[in-house]
Structures are given as structure tokens and as C-alpha cells.
Structure 1
Amino acid sequence: MAKYLLLKHYRGAPASVNPEPMDQWTPEEISAHVQYMNDLAARLEKTGEYVDSQALSPEGTFVRYDGAGRPPVTDGPFAETKDVIAGWMVIDVDSYERALAVAGELSAAPGAGGKPIHEWLELRPFLGDHSATAE
């Protein structure tokens, strides 16, 4: 088994990827999107491939050590950026190919009008897990 992190990237552009920004979805469309992800997590839990997941708030803060003992803090990221990490899921699967299949299924979560949003996902193996890379 190899663990992977799936980072859910919400991109405000281009329109061909997310034709309708999430802040313009109806409450029903948002509920359907969340339900799809919960259903996928439940299926992965039954096969032993689900580890954890969480949605993230669009508000955040950048912090960097300044060498003087106090970290400078910068507001952001902001929703008007083209790319916001909206959430994550950790899976533990038998192969890289299976990780790709799960990522593809998660990318098909519905959005406005119930159509798949083809959301960008970043698939990253956990460091040190050499079995988790493409061959």
C-alpha cells in the first residue's frame, strides 16, 4: 500500500475548467458536490483505501520565519487568486494507477447544473514511500 495526498485545487479561471464559480452555485449544487465527495470517501473506506479528508476555508495566512525569532505574517491566500487549495484527501492504495483512478473520480464531482467540474487535483505520494511513484 502507498499513501497519496490529493489536493483539491479550486481554480477561478479558465472558464472552461470551472464554468461557474463555486460562490455562484445554488445551495443544492453545493450539497450535491459535497455528497459526491462523501459518497466516494465512504466507498474508499469500505475497501480500506480511505485515510482522511477535510475541506479548507478560503481564508488563510502565509507565515515565514524571519531569522529574528518572530515570523512575518502576510494576509492571504485570497479568493481572487486563480488557484486556491479547497481541501484534501489522503488515500492508501495498492498502486500509482489506482491513485490516478481515484483522483480522476474525485475530479468528476458535480458543480453547477450537476455537471462534472473536472476539478484540478494534485496527486502527491508521501515522501519516502518509493512504491508510490509512476513506473
Structure 2
Amino acid sequence: MPKYLLLKHYRGGPAPYQPIPPMDEWAPEDVEAHMTFQRHVNDVLKENGEWVDAQALTPARTWVRYGGPGAAPVTTDGLLPETSDLAAGWFMIDVESHERAIELAAYVSSEPGPGGTPLYEWIDVREVMSDLPASD
């Protein structure tokens, strides 16, 4: 079965369906409702045998590149990308088809936001490469 990454962004993808403030500006009960939904999605995926992994990410990031022979890695916190460029988390799923991955992504997109209103956020659906690309 193919594996897919359902990648969530802090605010990203095509134009949002509705403007949503960053989660650190939500009421505590709205954050809890959102996280409860995320746990519910994990439970449903596990019950269906489709769950591989799910993680939430903090907005903090460090860029790293090779420093050269004998040099330490080069790191930086910036240039800081737009918030929309930050990955918020993911679900890794193992499903029967691309259509099932799309169905699950749409369900994840319905997660509650401030006031319990569904976010309808864009979910980036990416198939995990099962074979190495062919070389010429």
C-alpha cells in the first residue's frame, strides 16, 4: 500500500478559505478542541490500520548546511521565511489509494479552529517514494 504524508502548514498553500489567527492567539478551549480532534484522527487511523506516524512541530527552526572538510556545520535561524512556509505537523498514513489519502486530508482539513469553526485549511498530500528514481 502506498504511504502518504499529509503535511499541515501554520498558514500556507493556496489562499486560505478564511483568515485564521495564529494558534497562540486562540482561546485555550479552542486549542484544546483542536488538539482533541487531532487525537481523534490518530485514533481513527489506528483503528483502520492506516496510521504510521503523526507529529506536531514548533515554529522554531534552524537552517543547517555542510561546513566543508574539517569545518563545523553552518547554522542560522534566518533568513526567516514567511509563516506560511513553516510546516506545523503531519500525519503519515499507509492507505489503499491516492483517493483514500485525499479523503483523509479533507477530513483533517475540517479540524476546529477559533470558536469551533472548521479551519478548512489546505493539506499538502505527498506520496512517499517507494522506489529510487531511475538513473540514466
Q: With structure 2 as the length reference, what TM-score do the two structures score? A: 0.83
Q: How far off is 1:66 after superposition?
A: 3.3
Match of 1:84 in 2: 86
Task: Give the distance between the partners of 2:17 and 2:100, measured in 1 at CA.
Answer: 27
Match of 1:3 in 2: 3
Distance change in 2, residues 1:124/1:61 (3 Å) = same
Q: Deviations over 1:10-65 (max 9, x none)?
A: 11796654433222101100000011111011011001001111111111101111
Q: How far off is 1:7 after superposition?
A: 1.1
Gaps of at least 5 residues in structure 1 are 131-135
Query: Does the Cα contact within 8 Å between 2:16 and 2:122 map onto a contact in 1?
Result: no
Query: Does the Cα contact within 8 Å between 1:58 and 1:79 map onto a contact in 2?
Result: no
Match of 1:64 in 2: 65
Query: Does the Cα contact within 8 Å between 1:56 and 1:87 map onto a contact in 2?
Result: yes
Q: How far off is 1:120 after superposition?
A: 2.0
Q: Which runs of 4+ in 1 moved over 3 A?
A: 12-18, 76-80
Query: Does the Cα contact within 8 Å between 1:10 and 1:120 map onto a contact in 2?
Result: no
Higher Cα Rg, which structure: 2
RMSD: 2.4
- Higher fraction of strand: 1
Query: Does the Cα contact within 8 Å between 1:65 and 1:71 map onto a contact in 2?
Result: yes
Query: Does the Cα contact within 8 Å between 2:6 and 2:126 map onto a contact in 1?
Result: yes
Match of 1:43 in 2: 44
Q: Aligned pairs, how many?
A: 130
What fraction of aligned residue pairs are identical, expressed as a percent?
A: 47
Distance change in 2, residues 1:116/1:64 (3 Å) = same
Corresponding position: 1:126 with 2:128: yes
Corresponding position: 1:114 with 2:116: yes
